[in-house]
Structure 1
């Protein structure tokens, strides 16, 4: 029943995702035109270009990969803050970027919306095959993971007796908060309703994590999507809700590259070296240095690489 439910949920959002992709294409052949800031152009003369999504952790990961490759003598640059998966996958396909830091379960669901995978083993087995079919390759999966997770305030958890996503059906007037693209994700509001029977009254999109935190504390939203590596969860005493039916798949960090990048042994070794040393605790600490201590992602990445002896 869980597999059937997952397939129905994912199929339901496929049409929406396809429409978004079409809209991105309508802006022109280059999905990066007029948007993201970049430390270098994405032309062939720039070597390998590592892109990133529009959130802190992905920017740090992109810097880690690029700087590690540069230390190995590979010509590499970054193109940070591109946007959501709908945009940067298109950029990877057309060669605007060469590498993007990704997350296993979410990536599998995006590349194969009909996947029935629900365990880490199933995700790890299916993802490389699906990626290859679309002209991509996944490098070595890391032990470092960053799950999407739904959180509530302790006050809300105590009031309704919330321990897992299954308990959300007890909450009236449920308002979900998260990044704009969460509305289209299989584990977004439709997933909460379809798999857990929650009755979602509304959704509020956030570009600013700080405003999302404030609104959750102020009761303007009931439950919010965070990353498990986000220090705001512990800093604010938020309660992470369990996911007994695995609505959200395992999300280990993995570099997704264009297939031709695998021919560059130095580049592959450099990125796999980062993955071998990286831990979830490292990710959490680096995100806090950027978001709380206001350090630049490139400086944070450089310090970590130096500490690990990778540059």
Structure 2
């Protein structure tokens, strides 16, 4: 494992791990830790979209390293349809983004009960919101979070929260992905009412960012995978997430935009400890830059499974 992977590997036990360990502490044998008890095939579901398919192949590949039979099932439909397949046990695992999963299972929880958009808060709230038969493993640093891009002069003067007082003078050019992850709602919640809002694709939105125009994108926008573009457009800083497992102080600022970390949702009592360790390997290794680079290759025509296999060969 790389140094980055070691840094991100955490000691948190997932819900299913705790359930598996408790009987052992009482002196009872537990077959859930025996990899021979994992019967196949395990099915990893892929929601619509290249990123949904890529995440499914990444998690399927890492699970195969434990010696179990794993299949990928494409074509499940949108997020809601994919999660219904998980609810009905037609699939075993569905990887997705933490904030959008939380919105699915507990709509409005972030603005409704004081839960912030911080990665740890979102993860903890998601764990509480899941149905009893489902659980999650550790999240990866890789995410598809909302982000603002602006000309260097504006971006150097303000962070995202600080833009609130200037929003009435600013035009926001936003992508559908930015809206889908709740970017506009997050700005509104922080008192940002733009002069106007326009819609565009990521390349157009990024190119429009200059002067009094701000682009609303996500961290996986293709423009962020391009190196050496020479653009004077940069991202506007947001409050960073807490480090994993770090306690939140009462007066700590939280990010404006909701965390959207990659996390697998899966059915309880299916995996043993080898599989849980494999899932944590993705959490420890997968970065946003990795995802952006892989999605750029897929957009250029590379096969999704082959792209996933290349990453797995380098990191697992």
Alignment TM-score, normalising by the size of structure 2: 0.64
- Confirm or deny: 8 A CA contact 1:176 1:200 kept in the other structure: no
Alignment-derived partner of residue 273 in structure 1: 281
| Superposed CA offset, 1:33-56 (max 9, x none) | xxxxxxxxxxxx982221234444
Q: How does 1:222-261 map to 2 (within 5 A)?
A: 222-227=214-219, 229-230=220-221, 232-233=223-224, 235=226, 236=229, 237=231, 238-244=233-239, 245-261=254-270
Which structure is richer in relative contact order (CA contacts within 8 A, separation 6 or more)?
A: 2
Alignment-derived partner of residue 192 in structure 1: 187
- Confirm or deny: 8 A CA contact 1:193 1:200 kept in the other structure: no
Counterpart-to-counterpart distance in 2, 1:163 and 1:122: 21
Moved segments of 4+, more than 4 Å:
81-84, 157-163, 182-185
The runs of 5 or more residues in structure 1 that have no matched partner are: 1-44
Inter-CA distance 222–55: structure 2 relative to 1 (3 Å threshold): farther
Match of 2:82 among 79, 82, 88: 88
Helix, strand or coil at the partner of 1:59: helix
Helix, strand or coil at the partner of 1:96: coil
- Confirm or deny: 8 A CA contact 1:74 1:266 kept in the other structure: no
Alignment-derived partner of residue 22 in structure 2: none
- Confirm or deny: 8 A CA contact 1:102 1:255 kept in the other structure: yes
Helix, strand or coil at the partner of 1:150: strand
- Confirm or deny: 8 A CA contact 2:205 2:216 kept in the other structure: no
Counterpart-to-counterpart distance in 1, 2:189 and 2:289: 33
- Confirm or deny: 8 A CA contact 2:172 2:194 kept in the other structure: no
Counterpart-to-counterpart distance in 2, 1:138 and 1:268: 10
Shift of 1:83: 4.9
Whether 1:174 and 2:171 are equivalent positions in the alignment is yes
Counterpart-to-counterpart distance in 2, 1:151 and 1:136: 34
Alignment TM-score, normalising by the size of structure 1: 0.65
Counterpart-to-counterpart distance in 1, 2:53 and 2:195: 32
What's the Cα RMSD here? 3.6
Whether 1:63 and 2:57 are equivalent positions in the alignment is yes
Inter-CA distance 269–82: structure 2 relative to 1 (3 Å threshold): same
Counterpart-to-counterpart distance in 2, 1:159 and 1:278: 28
Alignment-derived partner of residue 51 in structure 1: 45
Helix, strand or coil at the partner of 1:123: helix
Shift of 1:195: 1.5
| Superposed CA offset, 1:277-304 (max 9, x none) | 334443343333323x532221111112
Counterpart-to-counterpart distance in 2, 1:120 and 1:150: 15
Inter-CA distance 178–214: structure 2 relative to 1 (3 Å threshold): closer
Shift of 1:177: 2.2
More helix by share: 1
Helix, strand or coil at the partner of 2:53: helix
Which structure has the larger Rg? 2
Helix, strand or coil at the partner of 1:261: coil
- Confirm or deny: 8 A CA contact 2:45 2:73 kept in the other structure: yes
Alignment-derived partner of residue 309 in structure 2: 302
